[in-house]
Homo-oligomer: A and B are copies of this chain.
Amino acid sequence: MKTPVVIAVAGAAGQISYSLLFRIVSGELFGLEQPIILRLLEITPSLEKLHGVVMELNDCAYPLLQKVIPTDDSRVAFKDADYVFLAGAKPRKMGMKRKDLLASNALIFAEQGKALNEVASRHVKVLVTGNPANTNALITQRNAPDLSPSCFAAMSMLDHNRAISQLAEKCGVRSKDIKNIIIWGNHSETQYPDLHHATVKGQNAFALVEDEWITEYFIPTVQHRGAAIIGARGLSSAASAANAAIDQMRAWTLGTQNNDWVSMAVFADGSYGIENGLFYSFPVRVSAEGEVTIVSDLQIDAFSLMRMQVSERELKEERMAVQHLL
């Protein structure tokens, strides 16, 4: 057995966590040989509910779960944490815009950034899923100046998987036949799901689908998928978001496949003219040691560039709204 890793989850009594925690400790994230210490953070009023989740975790008799520590103190939760999922944002309700979420969630992430800065492992990987995820990642990172910006990412993997699924369905193939999908920008309705570099069983996707399908169906479907799920379920995506969080943290830790990349919202390095320091979703390759590199040499046409910039603009506006916390 390996040395246990410390995994912290904020918003641990919430819906995404309820789908996430049981999969993490069953071994889906790092395999059946990796023991886990779980630290679970909640706001004080949710501690009783969190206690119920801890009871259920214990009731699974998981062989890998060494210890589970529930707390309302972010410094306890993040102490020596190797992997952190920040899922602790209020979920979007039916008809609610992402921007309404900004103000109510920003303070939480500033506080969590400070705590991470003080007590987390210096090699921590912090994945933000709570919306607005990109700007929450920015707030968190700016409040943790002693940690490398490469310790932080926001989740694009849900959009990435949604795009794969739509293209696979359209082409009548399986999801594993699709490679090199890209999600650019913000995890919001301005995101740009890009098929220019995607392949379907090795063939360029553009040769297989109509332009009109891309602009009239594919792009808006992926962009508005979150709202469509809320429309059908009456609740925001939880199980698929948790699944994507596992996919993204696994890729971030164990690396991407040779012939593929994933989309991750990371600290922008100036690639493609996107402003340095924004958390923006790019195609990235990850080494087996967990080193992330933005794929920076792709040809971008005017159609794509315009969409990429729309999403960048939105991220700058979101940043403006939380300037006092940066």
Point out residues on A near B: beta carbons under 8 Å. Answer: 18-19, 21-23, 26, 28, 48-49, 51-53, 55-63, 66, 158, 161-162, 164-165, 168-169, 174-176, 178, 225, 228-229, 231-234, 237-240, 242-244
Contacts of A26 in B (CB 8 A): 23, 28, 243
Pick the most buried of A56, A158, A231: most chain B CB atoms within 10 A of its CB: A56
Q: How many copies does the complex hold?
A: 2
Interface contact A63-B233, CB-CB below 8 Å = no
Known: A18-B239, A22-B239, A239-B18. A232 touches B51 (CB 8 A): yes
In the assembly, what is the distance between CA of A171 and CA of B240, in Å? 37
**Which residue of B has the minimal Cβ distance to A35?**
B174
In the assembly, what is the distance between CA of A244 and CA of B59, in Å? 9
Nearest chain B CB to A7's CB is how many angstroms away? 16
Q: Which of B22, B52, B178 contacts A19 (CB 8 A)?
A: B22
Nearest chain B CB to A182's CB is how many angstroms away? 15
Interface contact A228-B165, CB-CB below 8 Å = no
Pick the most buried of A19, A55, A225: most chain B CB atoms within 10 A of its CB: A55
Interface contact B229-A52, CB-CB below 8 Å = yes
**Which residue of B has the minimal Cβ distance to A168?**
B61
In the assembly, what is the distance between CA of A58 and CA of B178, in Å? 14
Interface contact B60-A229, CB-CB below 8 Å = no
Contacts of A233 in B (CB 8 A): 49, 52-53, 56
Nearest chain B CB to A62's CB is how many angstroms away? 7
User: Interface SS of chain A: helix, strand, loop or mixed?
Assistant: helix
**Which residue of B has the minimal Cβ distance to A232?**
B52
In the assembly, what is the distance between CA of A116 and CA of B156, in Å? 42
In the assembly, what is the distance between CA of A91 and CA of B222, in Å? 34
Q: Which of B19, B22, B56, B158 contacts A59 (CB 8 A)?
A: B158
Interface contact A225-B22, CB-CB below 8 Å = no
In the assembly, what is the distance between CA of A61 and CA of B240, in Å? 10
Q: Which of B62, B231, B244 contacts A175 (CB 8 A)?
A: B62
Nearest chain B CB to A168's CB is how many angstroms away? 7
In the assembly, what is the distance between CA of A56 and CA of B229, in Å? 7
Q: Which of B53, B62, B175 contacts A61 (CB 8 A)?
A: B175
In the assembly, what is the distance between CA of A66 and CA of B168, in Å? 11
**Which residue of B has the minimal Cβ distance to A237?**
B56
Contacts of A229 in B (CB 8 A): 52, 55-56, 59
**Which residue of B has the minimal Cβ distance to A21?**
B239
Nearest chain B CB to A242's CB is how many angstroms away? 8
